Structure 1
Amino acid sequence: MTNLSPTPSAGTTRRFPLTSIDADDFKSFFRGHPGGVSVITAEGPAGPVALTATSVASISVDPPLLVFSVSALSSATPSILAADSVVVHLLDTDDLAVAKLASTSGIDRFADRDAWTRLSTGEPVFHGVRAWIRGAIVNRLEAGGSTVVVAHALQGSVSRSVGEGPGALVYHDRTWHRLSETSRIA
């Protein structure tokens, strides 16, 4: 695993100040910054795991790479970090139940066998989501209390194209929201 290094250039070390923004203040900054909602699944030693994330982004189209981060506080994180591959589910508002399921602590997220299946490669995938991408993990970077994961997209499926569904699912100010044509401002 690569450590996040505060080095601006080879051979020099940059020291950060001893003080930082308070954690609650830092969270408040990002409450006003909406994020698209995704669910990450992987096969762990004890079975399938899932978590909800708002950190998914594409970072390259050639090769096709995506990135996301997982918190050390999530029970799914050790399995995701140990996996060779994951499935990233890109959700719209029709998928709110999947987002809530994967973000709820202390439950068996895979108890409903009718809600998911396994790909031929073994990874768990939820049925009917707007889109999913299976990716091979190619890099992990420790960053504070989280790990940033880079995955190479290998396979995917789109059930509903943008504009066909009810609108994108976003998380903003600690709640779920819908983006649609009526929310367009420019």
Structure 2
Amino acid sequence: MSRPDSQASAATPLEAPEHVFSSSLSPDEFKALFRGHPGGVAVITADAGDGPVALTATSVSSVSAEPPLLIFSISALSSASDVLSRADTVVVHLLDAHDLDVAKLGATRGIDRFTQTHRWSRLATGEPVYRDVRAWVRCAVINRMDAGTSTVIAAHALQSHIERDVHPGGPGDALVYHNRTWHRLGEHSRIED
């Protein structure tokens, strides 16, 4: 099990307040709403001492540059949720279209995502990391909050690596998940300067 650097430590989980509302969207209505809202694709890896886990997520978001914080959520239904609920550190892989195979690997149910040993290694601090992805960031988990059937995780960025940089204003090759389909953003998808 890896430990965060001494400057960051895991905090006690927050208790989400229970709210009662007179009406609420059904799960199907909520899913339909967000099918039309594209999300960048990331794969999150961790190891809490029982072996590595990985999952694909579209919920990664930067929160603050100073200090460098990000958040993401994991479903309680994910096979990685138990490990991510205990891990002190995680690696968030920020993917582009060249990493579609890694995105699909993290999204496939019922498989060992680490059998292809040539695709990943461990950082000196012990976390599993996929090789040759666009970028990754090693983070210390600083807070967890239960939110419905998911857990929102806040993390402090400790170390990063960029394999393929995106230049300001450049088209890049971003990988986006939209309406249950993978998409590549590029010069062809730009609509305005």
Query: Given the two structures, how large is their TM-score scaled by the length of structure 1?
Result: 0.92
Which structure 2 residues correspond to residues 1-186 of structure 1 after superposition, within 5 A? 1-5=13-17, 15-162=19-166, 167-186=173-192
Question: Is the contact made by 1:94 and 1:166 (CA closer than 8 Å) also made in structure 2?
Answer: no
What RMSD in Å do the two structures reach over aligned CA positions?
1.4
Give, in angstroms, the shift of residue 45 of structure 1: 3.5
Partner SS for 1:167: coil
Question: Is the contact made by 1:167 and 1:179 (CA closer than 8 Å) also made in structure 2?
Answer: yes
Residues 98-155 of structure 1, C-alpha deviations (whole Å, 9 max, x = no match): 0000110111100000000000000000000000000000000110000000000000
Give the Cα–Cα distance (whole angstroms) in 2 for the partners of residues 35 and 48 of structure 1. 25
Question: Is the contact made by 2:171 and 2:190 (CA closer than 8 Å) also made in structure 1?
Answer: no
Amino acid aligned to 1:174? R
Partner SS for 1:47: coil
Question: Is the contact made by 1:44 and 1:80 (CA closer than 8 Å) also made in structure 2?
Answer: yes
Give, in angstroms, the shift of residue 17 of structure 1: 1.8
Identity between Structure 1 and Structure 2 (%): 58
Q: Which aligned runs of 4 or more in structure 1 are off by greater than 6 angstroms?
A: none
Give the Cα–Cα distance (whole angstroms) in 1 for the partners of residues 175 and 15 of structure 2. 32
Amino acid aligned to 1:51? L
Gaps of 5+ in 1: 7-14
Query: Given the two structures, how large is their TM-score scaled by the length of structure 2?
Result: 0.89
Give, in angstroms, the shift of residue 165 of structure 1: 8.7
Amino acid aligned to 2:60? V
Gaps of 5+ in 2: 1-12
Give, in angstroms, the shift of residue 3 of structure 1: 1.9
Residues 43-80 of structure 1, C-alpha deviations (whole Å, 9 max, x = no match): 13331000000000100011000000000000101101
Question: Is the contact made by 1:140 and 1:147 (CA closer than 8 Å) also made in structure 2?
Answer: yes
Partner SS for 1:28: helix
Give, in angstroms, the shift of residue 91 of structure 1: 0.1
Amino acid aligned to 1:56? V
Give, in angstroms, the shift of residue 166 of structure 1: 5.9
Report how many aligned residue pairs link the two structures.
178
Give the Cα–Cα distance (whole angstroms) in 2 for the partners of residues 185 and 94 of structure 1. 22
Question: Is the contact made by 2:171 and 2:187 (CA closer than 8 Å) also made in structure 1?
Answer: no
Question: Is the contact made by 1:39 and 1:102 (CA closer than 8 Å) also made in structure 2?
Answer: yes
